[in-house]
Amino acid sequence: MADALKTLLDECVDRFNRPSFIPDDPISIPRRFSRLQDIEIIGFWTAMLAWGQRPVILKSAEELLRLMEGQPYEFVLHHREEDRARFQHFKHRTFQYTDTLYFLEFLQRFYRENESLESAFTRHLPGDAAHTGPALSGFHRFFFSLPDAPARTVKHVATPDRGSTCKRLNMFLRWMVRSDDRGVDIGRWAAISPAQLLMPLDVHVDRVARRLGLITRKQSDWLAVVELTENLKRFDPEDPVKYDFALFGLGVLEKSKSVISGQYRLTTDH
């Protein structure tokens, strides 16, 4: 049965992990840039806004780019405090001006002292870490370490320490770490292994994964993410998160009811 499920998932990865996936997905925003820092800044910020309908997410990311004059790194690095006023009317659901100001403050301070946002994650990742959980926890603490960090902004960057699925951070890491010949994920970071990545668990992935028996935990939380990723490692231990394309694609396109049946349920027998 596990072989049949692997075949299904591999076929779906092949179907959805293609350049045609890019235009309607938030990854299309960082994909416009070639300079690492531009990719990191707009990629991170777009990922943090990635909840709700994808057209709305893309619209908000486009507005961010416009406000940063199409040059995320140059703006973040060199803008003055008075330049931040232009963001006063920028909003995305519960992401408000106060949150924008803090993101700008953190990113400017960080990039004036560091070359790449990768180090903000890897400095918290032990060399023998099985997955990126410690990096996400450490990044959250680091991101909100400035003395003026607003309490209301904390909810916009998740942490495993609160049991969150950390869907948006896991998605961002997938973008930055994974690299294959399909041209979707960006793959510019090398200090984190694809084998350490964790699945971005949204409602679509959650629904399909449960139908397939890849998640048995009742709650959709951090432990469910770990369970799902561990089950997917049975099919590809070096790159389990590639199956995000399969599960997300099946869920979004509502094909799961027609292709998923009991014969594909994952068993615990070996």
Between helix 222-232 and helix 203-211 the angle, nearest 10°, is: 50
Confidence of residue 259 (pLDDT cuts 50, 70, 90): low
> Which residues lie across from 92 on neighbouring strands?
95
> What is the value of pTM for the model shown?
0.94
Confidence of residue 251 (pLDDT cuts 50, 70, 90): confident
Confidence of residue 270 (pLDDT cuts 50, 70, 90): very low
Identify the pLDDT of residue 264: 56
260 or 130, greater pLDDT: 130
- Percentage of the chain exceeding pLDDT 90: 89
What are the backbone dihedrals phi and psi of residue 92, each rounded to the nearest 5 degrees, phi first?
Answer: -145, 105
Identify the pLDDT of residue 21: 93
Average pLDDT, the chain: 93
Residue whose C-alpha is closest to residue 201's, from 160, 162, 242, 168: 168
Identify the pLDDT of residue 137: 98
Block residue for tokens 């916009």:
156
Give the pLDDT confidence of 23-37 residue by residue, as tens digits: 999 999 999 999 999
Q: Is the pLDDT of residue 140 over 60?
A: yes
Block residue for tokens 């998923």:
260
Beta strands in 25-101 (DSSP E): none
Give the pLDDT confidence of 43-83 residue by residue, as tens digits: 999 999 999 899 999 999 999 999 999 999 999 999 999 99
**b (16+ CB within 10 A) / e for 51-62:** beeeeebbebbe
Block residue for tokens 């199409």:
70
Give the pLDDT confidence of 89-132 residue by residue, as tens digits: 999 999 999 999 999 999 999 999 999 999 999 999 998 999 99
Block residue for tokens 């060399």:
127
Stretch 214-224: mean pLDDT: 98
Contacts of 152 (CB under 8 A, 6+ apart): 96, 98, 99
- Percentage of the chain exceeding pLDDT 70: 93
What are the backbone dihedrals phi and psi of residue 21, each rounded to the nearest 5 degrees, phi first?
Answer: -70, -25
